[in-house]
Structure 1
Amino acid sequence: MLMDYLKELECKMVHDYKKLDKMVISPIFFEGPIIVGAGPSGLAAAACLKQKGIQSLILEKANCLASMWQFKTYDRLKLHLPKQFCQLPLMPFPKGLPLYPTKQQFLSYLKAYANHFDINPVFGKKVVSAEFDCVCGFWRVKTQEVKKGILENVEYVCHWLIVASGENAEEVVPQIEGMEQFKGPILHTSLYKSGNMFCGKNVLVVGCGNSGMEVCLDLCNHNALPSLVVRDSVHILPQQIFGKSTFGLSMWLLKWFSVHFVDQFLLVMSDLMLGNTSQFGIHRPKIGPLELKNLYGKTPVLDVGTVAQIKSGNIKVCKGIKRLAHNAVEFVDGKVENFDAIILATGYRSNVPSWLKGSDMFSEKDGLPRKPFPNGWKGEKGLYAVGFTKRGLLGSSIDAKRIADDIEHSLKAFEAKPLA
């Protein structure tokens, strides 16, 4: 029934297109949902829909699955959380994998996941705009693709649009005074692969999140001389407590105790296991790690050995940067030091506001859903978001299941309604 309606609409719209003076490609009508992004979130949504017999179409600007994991992550990367919290819906990790799978193991899992559910994204399709057409009652998704050196514009029309382009679509590169004068390389962590090329060099890492801390450790392992810029307060927790995942233990404790109680437990254990990091220039926020995550989405760092290197003096902690000049960095506390290279572990951001038009579901400021978790997955007029929870792959799985249930309900309601 929905397909019959789409065919009628297609005939009308193609007729309207032929009235135009300039040559355009007729829109492609798709009966099911269109998903923007072939990362883990997009795959999870497609699989949950497939289980319900709903075919979706994934549009991906890159030429592979999970392009960020493929090309913008460092070699030593492992999942920061145990695999049971990172598996996608309906298919666990294969047996025999370590508790924290490597980057390559995770990529192999994603490829197997796509094969298992027969998910075949359309690669090389960059979505340049998506807007709801109030006249026809459908989403118009415009894409660009380069074929044989020729730019081709294609428009898709669908009833449901699922945004799965991710929280980490674009690198955040801060503008620091004197960047153009610095003689050494300045690169974002998206370009960092290994500390091998920095052996014996003084390297400044800007940003003390999980990536910045782990890059510092990797530099130490390759005999570089890293320093870490810590501008703000940050919670650093041991990755494991009593041989158990800190994250998993926290989730278990929250079943019986308040967030405040669990936070206090985590802080006591962290002080016992890692020591007081404030003596090295790393101060904790006044709000506990779980409460801070719930309120502002700020993820605590899970230490995999970096703190020990800081304590031993192999990694220096520095204040914020004031300016750069040639090979020197001046910090806000007045200190000046020479560095051979700078690595920006300054994170990523969503790019949704640059292409999603006419919807207030996403904030223009940060590109994330305006409604906080767990209510940010659904917008209006068939618009959905998956993977914008700031809760990693577990959040993506929760979103994907809810979206599939909602679209199934919507589809059944539409098919039960007689056409006018």
Structure 2
Amino acid sequence: MEHHADLIVIGAGQSGLATAALAPRHGFARTLVLEAADQVGGSWPRYYDSLTLFSPARYSSLPGMRFPGDGDRYPTRDEVVDYLRAYARHLDADIRTSTTVTSVLPRDGAWVVRTDDGAELTAPTVVAATGAFHSLYTPDVPGREQFDGRSLHAADYRSPEPFTGQRVVVVGGGNSAIQIAAELGTVAETTLASRRPIGWVKQRPLGRDVHWWFKHTGFDIAPLSRMLEKVPVSVLDDGHYRAALTAHGVERREMFTRLTPDGVMWANGTKEPADVIVWATGYRLTYPYLDGSGALDTDGRPRHHGGIATMPGLGFVGIEFQRSFSSNTLRGVGRDAAHVLSRLCRSR
């Protein structure tokens, strides 16, 4: 079988780009990157307008290219997008955008990758780096079908102006929920609903950004993935967001028990009207193009150990807590990519 590449990477977000950047160091001379969107950058271009990283620029770089500017500042969404696009331009890889992978199946000791335009590509090694952004998660709350207001996931939220004067409930207790609720509070009557109290973490304990402590204590790379999956969500804050919630009257309440036609019902039985529900409830990892490949379990989750699939020649990069606390972050995804590529290279 003639191979179109030594390595096919699916996804041109931070995970796929880091994998493509490191591929030549691990013996993959011809790398092909397939991206469904019309530009590289993964989910970053589609996040809400005001998104700001919680990690400083000096801890937000991919392998081989420093994040530009003041290392102590917290980059915006658009700065990250610009960085990823500049990063892609320097890669020794064939990057094809507007190319959706429809299936990846093993055949004759290699992998056959089919795309939506009818192409059939082959390679002995494939890395799935598409992440979870396309699989939006919202909890199954009673009454959802009866709710007459607007319901949207945080992935579809862009800015607060369209919600001016409305009554909004933001669901979630993570960084995105806090950022969105804080800015909605400036224009709308906003409530934050979460299953647990917000786990506030100081952004700069003892005068150092928390990411400095993560690095210098070794916590960032500690192999604690199974334990970390059970740790409650925490929110990094230098005091700005907590103060904004208070200043704009955004109350945090225990998660409502059901939706009503005109709002929500809280745990104490009281009802509150709401025009909009914003679900900042995250994503679920899915790989529909691997259906039928044998690489997924019965629930559709990847069978892997630290990103190395149980099937030869297949790897994953970009899974939260894949190998450490910093997996699936700009600062940590390169370490996972290097680990996966080194193992895949040795198994060829």
TM-score after normalising by structure 2: 0.87
Which one of 39, 50, 54 corresponds to residue 80 of structure 1? Answer: 54
Which one of 140, 155, 159 corresponds to residue 190 of structure 1? Answer: 155
Which one of 382, 386, 398 corresponds to residue 317 of structure 2? Answer: 386
Pair 1:37-2:1 in alignment: no
**Structure 1 residues 194, 410: closer, same or farther in 2, change over 3 A?**
same
Pair 1:248-2:212 in alignment: yes
Cα distance in 1, alignment partners of residues 54 and 37 from structure 2: 25
What residue number does 2:114 align with? Answer: 142
Pair 1:321-2:296 in alignment: no
Amino acid in structure 2 at the alignment position of 1:195: P
Gapped regions of structure 2 (runs ≥ 5): 322-326
Cα distance in 2, alignment partners of residues 366 and 358 from structure 1: 11
Amino acid in structure 1 at the alignment position of 2:139: P
Deviation of the 1:354 alpha carbon = 5.5
Cα distance in 1, alignment partners of residues 309 and 226 from structure 2: 24
Cα distance in 2, alignment partners of residues 247 and 93 from structure 1: 15
Identity of aligned residues (%): 29
Q: Report if the CA contact (8 A) 1:47-1:117 is conserved.
A: yes
Cα distance in 1, alignment partners of residues 87 and 116 from structure 2: 27
Amino acid in structure 2 at the alignment position of 1:142: R
Amino acid in structure 1 at the alignment position of 2:215: M
Deviation of the 1:98 alpha carbon = 5.4
Cα distance in 2, alignment partners of residues 346 and 131 from structure 1: 32
What residue number does 1:237 align with? Answer: 201
Moved more, 43-52 or 234-243: 234-243
**Structure 1 residues 369, 302: closer, same or farther in 2, change over 3 A?**
farther
Q: Report if the CA contact (8 A) 1:30-1:156 is conserved.
A: yes
Amino acid in structure 2 at the alignment position of 1:63: D
Which one of 91, 100, 105 corresponds to residue 117 of structure 1? Answer: 91
Which one of 46, 57, 65 corresponds to residue 91 of structure 1? Answer: 65
- Structure with greater helix percent: 1
What residue number does 1:62 align with? Answer: 37
**Structure 1 residues 34, 238: closer, same or farther in 2, change over 3 A?**
same
Cα distance in 2, alignment partners of residues 318 and 187 from structure 1: 19
Cα distance in 1, alignment partners of residues 226 and 252 from structure 2: 23
Cα distance in 2, alignment partners of residues 210 and 352 from structure 1: 25
* Structure exhibiting the larger radius of gyration computed from Cα positions: 1
Cα distance in 1, alignment partners of residues 74 and 138 from structure 2: 29
Pair 1:204-2:178 in alignment: no
Residue deviations 1:265-302 (CA, integer Å, cap 9, x gap): xxxxxxxxxxxxxxxxxxxxxxxxx9996353654221
Pair 1:294-2:203 in alignment: no
What SS class does the counterpart of residue 348 from structure 1 fall into?
A: coil
**Structure 1 residues 67, 252: closer, same or farther in 2, change over 3 A?**
closer
What residue number does 1:281 align with? Answer: none
Deviation of the 1:380 alpha carbon = 3.0
Cα distance in 1, alignment partners of residues 70 and 59 from structure 2: 16
**Structure 1 residues 388, 312: closer, same or farther in 2, change over 3 A?**
same
Which one of 130, 140, 155 corresponds to residue 165 of structure 1? Answer: 130
Q: Report if the CA contact (8 A) 1:161-1:382 is conserved.
A: yes
**Structure 1 residues 121, 297: closer, same or farther in 2, change over 3 A?**
farther
Cα distance in 1, alignment partners of residues 49 and 217 from structure 2: 33
TM-score after normalising by structure 1: 0.73
Pair 1:376-2:307 in alignment: yes
What SS class does the counterpart of residue 349 from structure 1 fall into?
A: coil
Q: Report if the CA contact (8 A) 1:376-1:389 is conserved.
A: no
Cα distance in 1, alignment partners of residues 6 and 289 from structure 2: 24
Gapped regions of structure 1 (runs ≥ 5): 1-8, 11-28, 146-152, 260-289, 412-420
Backbone CA RMSD of aligned residues: 2.7
Cα distance in 2, alignment partners of residues 116 and 251 from structure 1: 27
**Structure 1 residues 303, 64: closer, same or farther in 2, change over 3 A?**
same
Cα distance in 1, alignment partners of residues 344 and 232 from structure 2: 31
Cα distance in 2, alignment partners of residues 354 and 321 from structure 1: 36
